[in-house]
Amino acid sequence: MPFAIAFLQKLALFPNSTDHKFMHLKSLQHPLVKHLTLLRKDKAYRQEVKKILVIGETLILELKVPILKLISTKAIDIPCQESYLATPEILQKITSLDVEMAAEIEMPQETEIKNQQFVLILDRIQDPGNLGTLFRTAWALKWEAILMTPETVDPFNDKALRASQGASLQMPFQVKTPDEIIHWLKTKKIPLWVADAKGEPLQKISFQAPLALVLSHEGQGIGSWAKTQGKLLSIPLSNNVESLNVASAGAILLYTLRHS
């Protein structure tokens, strides 16, 4: 039996919130503490149990999905299936942060990308802060979906979730291999634009929907598949600056392509 399944069966033995409005977490060794900590730290565990951990009152209050478990240092009336009161030390262990609240929710499911006109493709992005910021920027600028290659960092990593400010819980997304992305582009007849320092200057290009934009690995740059399939574009820079952080460059490109 997979570890996660057995572990959740063990958790099911505890009292349900229908019996007690607030249950209490008093031990750092409590199985629920271990479960929630694993949700934060372990991508494989998240994917196995299909749950994620949301940290911080602001993000939790903005959730548009049911809360399965709410863990807080204070009694607070937020709709949820189970509500737990915990010490600050326990919540710090679960979240690694000095916060008053965390929540477990179902992991958002992939959405088939069909007729969206503005699609962002994230290829092997490694930094969770960059990934979360790109989700947030794309959501704010009305891009309609995100495709990610399998080597891209998990959008439900706790750092990515915080950087996205909840956008990764709302933005339609799908994970596809480069070959699957190429097939999708050809089937939908969508032109591909690829951010690269050697590309055509941004101000010399006109854009029209539908279109897709590739942003690539922070250190390695664009993959060969994107270079052969797309048209390169660049952001002209001055003062001997060779490149921008991928999240900064992404914000400029996402705005320009969407509103040109």
DSSP string, 88-144: HHHHHHHHSSS-SEEEEEEPPPP----S-SEEEEEES---HHHHHHHHHHHHHTT--
| Nearest Cα to Cα of residue 86 among 7, 27, 158 | 27
**Domain 3-106 identical in fold to domain 118-259:** no
pLDDT along the chain (260 residues), means of 10: 54 42 92 98 97 97 96 94 97 97 97 94 97 98 98 96 96 97 96 94 94 94 92 93 91 94
Check: CB of residue 223 under 8 Å from CB of residue 83.
Answer: no
Task: Look up residue 199 and give its amino acid.
Answer: G
Question: What's the confidence (pLDDT) of residue 21?
Answer: 79
Q: State the Cα–Cα distance between residues 62 and 57, nearest whole angstrom.
A: 9
| CA 156 to centroid of chain Cα atoms | 5
Beta bridge partners of 51: 106
Q: What dotted CATH number matches 3-106?
A: 3.30.1330.30
For the chain, domain boundaries: 3-106, 118-259
Span 118-259 CATH architecture? 3-Layer(aba) Sandwich (3.40)
Question: What's the confidence (pLDDT) of residue 257?
Answer: 96
Question: What's the confidence (pLDDT) of residue 242?
Answer: 80
With H, G, I as helix, E, B as strand and everything else as coil, classify residue 15. coil
